[in-house]
Amino acid sequence: MVRVGVIGCGLVAERRHLPALKRLQDVKVVAVADTDEERLLAVADRFSIECRFTDHRTFLAESDAEAVAILTPTQFHAKIALDALEAGKHVLIEKPLGLNMEECEELAVKGSESRKRVMVGFNMRWHSLVDEARAIVQQGTLGELRAIRSVFSQRRSPEDEPPWKRRRELGGGVLVNEGVHHFDLWHYLTGRQIEQIHAVSKTTDKHHDETVVIASTMTDGLPASGVFSLASGGQNELEVYGTCGRLRVSLYRFDGLEFSPSTAYPGDVASRLSNLISAIKHVPHAIRASHHGGSFSATFQAEWQHFVECIRDNREPACTLRDGQRALQVAIAASHSLLSGQSVCVSEAPRHLAPVPFGPGQDIPLETM
């Protein structure tokens, strides 16, 4: 039994991580912490967790948790992770890893010196369809890759989000908070790095980076593009194009994996029949996953199962601090492209997120929790 503690009792803890942890037979959640005492008590009561702390340092000193999940606002990720490693804990850190490259590098050094396991929470790597898509790409089914694209959109009201999620410098906005998922997936699926990036955005006086469009170049000149928005209907998908065909992965659908050979068009009967057969194959998994919130929710359980196994086997997790650094570096480069209006080389980009040039009186409140 691995004893886990959770630092941060926001929605991602309440709706994703804690339900996933409760479903694992070999894990026991022994403690939670949050600076918001009302929120802390509500979440602890809901999940029947007895040990409760309003300060993460007291939590690390007094709880018997072997591993901790850091689910706080982004600006606290690196600091708390450093404290957790100093306290001798295994650490899972929600994405994004931090707010600047300096704190990420400090964390990487500490992690390399520690005998404890550290993993970044890019849960979409553990989506069953992503796993299948990666195998298809690696097997060469698509032929030589020619492009990759992503679309992520959700409808979120700024009034319903905490101020930190609306401010780029605090880790908010769709570019930093959600875009990093897809930057990581582009690398995960293709094995390539993003080298050059150009970005345009729609930013309002209530929400930084409400909508961002990305055009980038990866290793070997592979083009990659993305549309990310917090002002439209729900969608979360990737498409990989190769000389032998096209692979579409829609992460909110159980039957969201579709392969089309390069000789077929979307209305082609044979192609549609093949995709229908593939969809039927996924029905049993969809039924099982539906009991626990669907395939997307299942990614958190699979992510935690992997991390627990890494702790037990004393092996490196599949999603490392380097992966977290890489995705954040791309987001930082994109933020400077937004500021300059020019393409930015990722390896030469500044090491901090670029400011948002609002006019007087338009600043979003600075409260962080």
∠ CA 54-58-59, rounded to 5°: 75
Which one is catalytic: 95, 110, 116, 165?
95
**What pLDDT, on a 0 to 100 scale, did the predictor assign at position 160?**
82
Nearest to 279 by CA among 271, 244, 148: 271
Position 297 scores a pLDDT of 87
Predicted TM-score (pTM) of this structure: 0.91
Looking at residue 171, what is its pLDDT? 95
* Whole-number Å distance between alpha carbons of 302 and 221: 33
CA neighbours closer than 13 Å in the CB half-sphere of residue 332: 22
Distance between CA 85 and CA 60 in Å, rounded? 10
95 is catalytic: yes
| Termini Cα distance of the chain | 33
Distance CA 368, CA 339 (A): 23
Confidence (pLDDT) at 286: 56
The rounded average pLDDT for each run of 10 residues, N- to C-terminus, in the chain (369 residues) is 97 97 96 98 98 98 98 97 98 98 97 97 96 97 98 90 92 96 98 98 91 98 98 95 97 91 79 69 59 71 98 97 98 98 97 80 45
